[in-house]
Amino acid sequence: MKEKQQTLLSRGHIFACTNKTERECFDRMLFSTNKVYSEKALGVKKGDILFLYNLDNDTLYGVFQAKSDGGKDIIPEAWNGKYPYQVEAEKIGEITSAKKIRKALSKFGISWKNGLDEERTKLLLEYLKNPSEFDLSVAPSLKIEENKPPLEATTLWNYPRQSYGKLSKGNNKYPGVTPAFIIYNLIRRYTEPGDLVVDPMAGSGTTLDVCKEEGRDCIAYDIAPTREDIIQNNARKIPLSDNNVDMIFIDSPYGDNIKYNDHPDNIGKISAETENFYDELEKVMKECHRILKPGKVLGWLIGDQWVKKKFTPVGFNIYQRLSKYFETVDVISVVRRNQTSNTGIWHNRAIRFNFYLRGFKYLFVMRKPSFDSEQSSKRVVNWTQYPRRKGNKSKKGTTNEI
Ligand X SMILES: C[S@@+](CC[C@H](N)C(=O)[O-])C[C@H]1O[C@@H](n2cnc3c(N)ncnc32)[C@H](O)[C@@H]1O
Closer by beta carbon to ligand X, 121 or else 204: 204
Minimum CB separation from ligand X for residue 109, in Å? 31
Q: How many CA atoms lie within 13 A of 260 on its CB side?
A: 25
Closer by beta carbon to ligand X, 1 or else 231: 231
Closer by beta carbon to ligand X, 113 or else 236: 236
Closer by beta carbon to ligand X, 106 or else 261: 261
Minimum CB separation from ligand X for residue 347, in Å? 24
Minimum CB separation from ligand X for residue 271, in Å? 14
Residue number closest to ligand X, CB atom: 203
Collapsed DSSP state (helix, strand, coil) of residue 220: strand
Minimum CB separation from ligand X for residue 66, in Å? 35
**Spatial separation of the C-alpha atoms in residues 357 and 351, rounded to whole Å:** 10
Closer by beta carbon to ligand X, 105 or else 235: 235
**Spatial separation of the C-alpha atoms in residues 402 and 312, rounded to whole Å:** 36
Asked whether 157 and 333 are in contact (CB, 8 A), the reply is yes
Minimum CB separation from ligand X for residue 331, in Å? 19
Residue 173 is which amino acid? K
Separation in Å, CA 181 to CA 76, 160, 161, 229, 368: 31, 10, 9, 21, 23
39-74 per-residue burial string, b: 16 or more CB within 10 A, e: under 16: bbbbbbeeebbbbbbbeeeebbbbbbbbebbbeeeb
Minimum CB separation from ligand X for residue 201, in Å? 3
Closer by beta carbon to ligand X, 116 or else 322: 322
Minimum CB separation from ligand X for residue 265, in Å? 5
Q: Classify the phi-psi angles of 21: left when phi > 0, otherwise alpha if psi is within -120 to 50, otherwise beta.
A: alpha
Asked whether 33 and 18 are in contact (CB, 8 A), the reply is no
- List beta partners, residue 31: 87
Closer by beta carbon to ligand X, 63 or else 298: 298
Q: What is the DSSP string of 25-59?
A: HHHHTEEEE-GGGHHHHHT--TT-EEEEEETTTTE
Minimum CB separation from ligand X for residue 103, in Å? 42
Angle at 167 between CA 199 and CA 36, to 5 degrees: 70
Closer by beta carbon to ligand X, 99 or else 337: 337
Asked whether 8 and 50 are in contact (CB, 8 A), the reply is no
Minimum CB separation from ligand X for residue 280, in Å? 7
Minimum CB separation from ligand X for residue 220, in Å? 9
Positions touching ligand X (CB under 6 A) are 170, 174, 176-178, 200-204, 206, 221-224, 234-236, 251-253, 260-261, 265-268
- List beta partners, residue 217: 196
**Spatial separation of the C-alpha atoms in residues 385 and 357, rounded to whole Å:** 48
Closer by beta carbon to ligand X, 83 or else 221: 221
Contacting residues for 17 by C-beta, under 8 A, at least 6 apart: 25, 31, 52, 53, 54, 55
Closer by beta carbon to ligand X, 74 or else 202: 202
Asked whether 1 and 92 are in contact (CB, 8 A), the reply is yes
Minimum CB separation from ligand X for residue 16, in Å? 35
- Which of 251, 238, 340 minimizes the C-alpha distance to 292? 238
Closer by beta carbon to ligand X, 78 or else 223: 223
Asked whether 16 and 112 are in contact (CB, 8 A), the reply is yes
